[in-house]
Amino acid sequence: MTLLNTFLFVFLLSTPYSHAQQVNGKNHGRNKLPEIGAAGFSALSIDKEQLIGNAMMKHLRASQPIVNDPVLIEYINDLGNRMVRNAQDVHYNFEFFLVNNKELNAFAFFGGHIGIHTGLITTAETESELASVVAHEISHVTQRHLARKMEAQNRNQPLTMAGMISGVLLTLINPTVGMAALSTSMAASQQASINYTRTNEKEADRVGIQLLANSGFDPMGAPNFFSKMAEQYRYKSKPPAMLLTHPLPESRISEARVRAQNFPARQIRASLQFELAKARLKARYEGNAQDNIKRYLIEIEKQRYVYKEAAQYGLAIAYFENENYEKSHEIIKSLLTKDQNNLFYIDLFTDLHIKVKNFPPILERLEKLNLLMPNNQVVALNYANALNEAENYQAAEILLQDFLLVQPNNFIAHDLLTDTYKKQNKMAMMHATKAEVFALLGAYPRAIDELQTGYNYADDKPLVKKRIKARIIQLQEQENKLKRLN
């Protein structure tokens, strides 16, 4: 069995439908670099890489705690794409996503998919430190390290790849378990893999630091973050996940510092958006509401913050989570008077008005914002949610349909539209849209079942039946594409 076939065989065996329902059912540079990004093509074509990457992304949606939070998704994609615009050898659109995990880890895989653990954001002290990790992972993708590693391993040890490939995806997500799986491979092959990985890491450091500088960030963010991680875990028996997949010997830290110092010193103002993202993660995804309220009150009193607005925002979320809606509203209303289009504030403002069922003010504000920022996911999804809660289902339906024309793979939008159709008793369309939710999880049999159920509800709607039948054929073809690769 070839290396690619082995990977696909292992990958296609796992389709965690029941767990999927559990998880998702809730609610320009100075240093010249070698042009080696095109390597790895003989092992894996760009088309196949994208196909496998999309399949892996569906698998992760179904099996990992992906953060389905439009505000944070918007933030991390804005940060990542600022650097992608300055990168070379970009063959496809990138997708950046967050995994709700305090472990310090980040990973890149086929087709421009980059996952960031939430612990990285809350641990980084500056946006340049966070950006350095994202730039590093972008460089792994543009230099096609995974495809090149597969090619080298297949050439050197073709008979030992099954054990190694079976741990690749697991290693990306859970390095402790994944590395244990990989360690069962033959010693010679394992050593070759380690050596190749070290070469990849140096190359990603070199490309990443230049990318960081070219994108307007402080290139010292990379060695600074490296040093903090190495020092923090120097004497710990259990290093963070990121140090297992991205080893940090002293030589690597020194080389990163020397390379960063080749760029002009840059004083960069602290990022409010970064601080708001940290506050949102800490107040909404970590700890409990009452403890978070106390912590933010102390931070504000003792002025232990980079931006007071971010500390106030964290406190407003903590109050909201503790159902102190009046206090939360007082803070967020004040913040909005100074920054009326800030999407972090708009999102919480929407949640507050929905909770107290005061729809006119938020619908008016979101309608204006939707004209100002058409197809922005934070605005569109909040607007649709508010329209649903206000029982204006037809307007919500039209809004979501238009949005999905632009962002057809938006999981939250499909989920919201499913609910919109259900509330209108449009059962054929409800099942058809629910099928898209399952398709985004890679659960093709479940998706096709939903479409067939929808087809049975559409007896008096010949056009709907025709569209559903066409979609069944499309999903069957997508499933068969993966099988043909194997």
Q: How far apart are CA 75 and CA 69, in angstroms?
A: 10
Q: Which residue has the tokens 């009326």?
A: 340
Could you write out the DSSP letters of every residue in 170-215?
Answer: HHHH-HHHHHHHHTTS-HHHHHHHHHHHHHHHHHHHHHHHHHHHHT
Is 136 within any annotated ligand binding site? yes
Look up residue 64 and give its amino acid. Answer: Q
Q: Which of 374, 337, 173, 216 has the alpha carbon at shortest distance from 383?
A: 374
| 452 burial level (CB within 10 Å; 0-12, 13-18, 19+) | middle
Q: How far apart are CA 480 and CA 192, in angstroms?
A: 34
Q: How far apart are CA 320 and CA 329, in angstroms?
A: 8
* Strand spans (E) along 56-103: 95-99
| 394 burial level (CB within 10 Å; 0-12, 13-18, 19+) | exposed
| 478 burial level (CB within 10 Å; 0-12, 13-18, 19+) | middle
Look up residue 214 and give its amino acid. Answer: N
Q: Which of 311, 295, 296, 301 has the alpha carbon at shortest distance from 344?
A: 311
Report whether 53 contacts 94 (CB < 8 A): no
Is 151 within any annotated ligand binding site? no
Q: Where do runs of H (alpha helix) occur along 233-376?
A: 241-245, 250-261, 272-285, 289-301, 308-321, 325-338, 343-355, 359-372
Q: How far apart are CA 279 and CA 275, in angstroms?
A: 6
Q: How far apart are CA 434 and CA 417, in angstroms?
A: 9
Task: Tell me which residues are annotated as active site.
Answer: 137, 205
Q: Is 152 left (phi over 0), alpha (psi -120 to 50) or beta?
A: alpha
Torsion sign over Cα 127, 302, 286, 341: negative
Is 479 within any annotated ligand binding site? no
Query: What is the 8-class DSSP label of residue 269?
Result: P
Q: Which residues are annotated as a binding site for Zn(2+)?
A: 136, 140, 201
Q: Which residues are annotated as a binding site?
A: 136, 140, 201
